[in-house]
Amino acid sequence: MTFILGLIGGNPSPGMGAAKHSVSTFLELQRKKVHRYVIFKIDEKTKEVVVEKTGGPSESYDDFTASLPENECRYAVFDFDFVTSENFQMSRIFFIAWCPSVARIRPKMIYATSKYRFRRELKGVHYEIQATDPTEMDFEVIKDRAY
């Protein structure tokens, strides 16, 4: 019934939405380049996706991946800067749904059902990656997608 109501404008998409601070932090990454990455987690008490950690503009992709928990799900955005073969400075924002295979079942289900709604609130993301293992979001994967 919830699905049908969502289609006709009754109930919004299932899952947890973004806290206002989460959207504003994403906009700081996107527009002001204040952050290299933002890691989000679901707060089951408030039923919202909240900011867990931000990385400064000088932080690397290795710093970002080291900040993700090994056995818990998270959402993240990473601002990948690169130079094209024509020597233009470019930036691509990646949305990463990190759900390691060793995570517990309940959080996996909650993150899976909330991903679409949360992702939709982050306007301006270029690429999306679903990763259950670190190799699925390796730096080479990001680089290949961006070019």
Instruction: Show pLDDT as tens, one digit a residue, over the chain (147 residues).
Output: 444 334 444 445 678 889 999 999 999 999 999 999 999 999 999 999 999 999 999 999 999 999 999 999 999 999 999 998 899 999 999 999 999 999 999 999 999 999 999 999 999 999 999 999 999 999 999 999 998
In a domain, 85, yes or no: yes
In a domain, 45, yes or no: yes
State how far the alpha carbon of 134 is from the alpha carbons of 29, 45, 65, in Å: 23, 29, 8
Q: Whole-angstrom Cα distance, residue 131 to residue 146?
A: 17
**Cβ within 8 Å of residue 140, ≥6 positions away:** none
Q: Whole-angstrom Cα distance, residue 76 to residue 99?
A: 11
In a domain, 7, yes or no: no
Q: Considering the entire predicted model, what is its pTM?
A: 0.89
Q: How many domains does the chain have?
A: 1
Amino acid letter at 23? V
In a domain, 6, yes or no: no
In a domain, 4, yes or no: no
> What's the confidence (pLDDT) of residue 14?
76
For residue 110, give its domain range.
Answer: 17-146
In a domain, 61, yes or no: yes
> What's the confidence (pLDDT) of residue 50?
98
- Say if residues 35 and 57 touch (Cβ distance below 8 Å): yes
